[in-house]
Amino acid sequence: MAKRPLYLLAYDIKNSKRLQQALKIIKTWATGGQKSVFECYLTDADKQALLTAMKKILNTEEDRFFILRLDTRIRVHVMGMAVEPVTLKFFYIG
């Protein structure tokens, strides 16, 4: 299996209903995160599906959604009780 790039997703959504919908969508792919920032390993198809789903619920006048591809060649440094992201050998979709 090809390596999936690691992305950092962050959002600021004003409406609580849209916020819950966004959280449900993002947790489909999230491997870690907290509150409104998540780490996700995404293929190109996964990324397009995520963006399509988010576009359906976001209000571009009020909400913000940010996706950033991270360079996995650089070692991740964590502070406090944080846990380094783990590349899984497989993903369960069920």
- What's 26's domain CATH number? 3.30.70.240
Tell me which residue range forms the domain holding 18: 6-69
- Split into its structural domains, the chain has a count of 1
pLDDT in tens, 19-50: 999 999 998 888 877 788 998 889 999 999 99
pLDDT in tens, 46-78: 999 999 999 999 999 999 999 999 887 777 666
Q: Radius of gyration (Cα) for the chain, nearest Å? A: 14
Using DSSP bridges, classify how beta strands 64-69 and 6-12 pair: parallel, antiparallel or unpaired. antiparallel
Q: What is the pLDDT of residue 91?
A: 58
